[in-house]
Amino acid sequence: MTTAFDPIDLSGSRLGNRIVMAPMTRSRAGEGGVATDLTAEYYAQRASAGLIVTEGIQPSVVGQGYPDTPGLHSAAQVAGWRKVTDAVHAAGGRIFAQIMHAGRIGHPVLLPEGLVNVAPSPVAAEGQVFTAEGPKEFITPRELTGAEVRATIGDFVTAARNAIDAGFDGVELHGANGYLIHQFLAPGSNRRTDEWGGSPENRVRFAVEVAKAVTAEIGAERTGFRVSPGNPFNDISEPDPEPVYIALAKELAALDLAYLHVMEVGEIRDLSNRLRKEFGGTFVLSPQTEGPTSHGALALVEDGTADLIAFGALFLANPDLPARLRTEGPYNTPDQSTFYGGTEKGYTDYPTL
């Protein structure tokens, strides 16, 4: 019987186990969106994961959605991430960069003067974003032109190339949680009538074209893709997600990506199973659970539901999580007050066993 503690081959790269550190925004980048020495320490502490997926990294200046998030679009940012990847590799780990364009999520005060947030359609999300000036209501974004859609795909490609130059083992394209790729997938935020909107086949086009362009640049074996079907986070409306995500899984299957990563929100296990079948390749699952995901989720590897299991807040608070899962605890409790921004407190000071 295969267990979560067994190694796995990920497109030619050996992972020591099947336990993934899920991407989590921490808002602790330095000036200019540059990863710091503290960032390197944070990820290196968690190198016992089979695979680390970083926090979301913006591929362009306008892709930033939150304060103090890191980028991969400048030489300084590439150099900062090189310190991180070197530290993780020295500790025996593997690390993918999650490329995340926030789209309509964010606010112009987080961007250089003159820039506004962009999206598939000029539809504002309900809610607020935290800024240095306090909470701000999401604005109505500017609709991307057809040419700008193509240019944005190019931004993902450049960020992916920068990730490899920075020493990452690969990238994960963030198509979940209400950010730009997800905004194209969802009918509530994508009301276009051109080739990028309307039918499920058109709404998946942006996601597919990003994946195609990135794999052409860095290789399919170094490219993963994350989705969260039906997830209402960031005011996403997807009343009937199945046709869109089945169509997307079929398209991504043809690209032979390193993996498909499904984040479950709500009772969608049947859809997760369909997506695993349609994709056909390595399948990573962030399962829907009651309370913090713990060792019980590892059974999903044993029964074949997933090839790898991703853990979020539990990994944030337990840098040696694989060891704790093996012994079924004890677990440190995540301190939500230190999730975003701040110093080493709640970042690199959680104890190991």
pLDDT tens per residue across span 63-82: 999 999 999 999 999 999 99
| Catalytic residue selected from 42, 43, 66, 179 | 179
What tokens does 203 get? 């709404």
Distance CA 216, CA 235 (A): 32
> Does residue 3 lie within any of the structural domains?
no
Tally the domains of the chain. Answer: 1
pLDDT value for 293? 55
Mean pLDDT of the chain: 96
- Domain of residue 240, residue span: 8-338
Q: What is the pLDDT of residues 81-120, one digit of tens each?
A: 999 999 999 999 999 999 999 999 999 999 999 999 999 9
Domain at 14, CATH number: 3.20.20.70
Residue 272 in any domain: the answer is: yes
Check residue 295 and give its pLDDT. Answer: 82
Strand duo 308-311 + 283-286: pairing: parallel
Distance, in Å, from the CA atom of 31 to the CA atom of 260, rounded to the nearest integer, reads 33
**Is 77 part of a structural domain of the chain?**
yes
pLDDT tens digits, residue range 239-297?
999 999 999 999 999 999 999 999 999 999 999 999 999 999 999 999 986 455 578 89
Q: Which residues contact 271 (CB under 8 A, 6 or more apart)?
A: 229, 230, 241, 242, 245
Within a domain: 72: yes
The reply to whether 151 falls in a domain is: yes
Q: Is 347 a catalytic residue?
A: no
Question: Has residue 218 got a pLDDT over 60?
Answer: yes
Coil, strand, or helix at residue 58? strand
Q: Is residue 351 included in any domain, yes or no?
A: no
**Token representation of residue 105:** 């999520």
In a domain, 78, yes or no: yes
**Assigned domain for 352 exists:** no
Phi-psi domain of 325 (left: phi exceeds 0; alpha: psi -120 through 50; beta: other): alpha
Q: Please determine, for residue 18, whether its predicted confidence score (pLDDT) is greater than 70.
A: yes
Give residue-wise pLDDT tens across range 153-175.
999 999 999 999 999 999 999 99
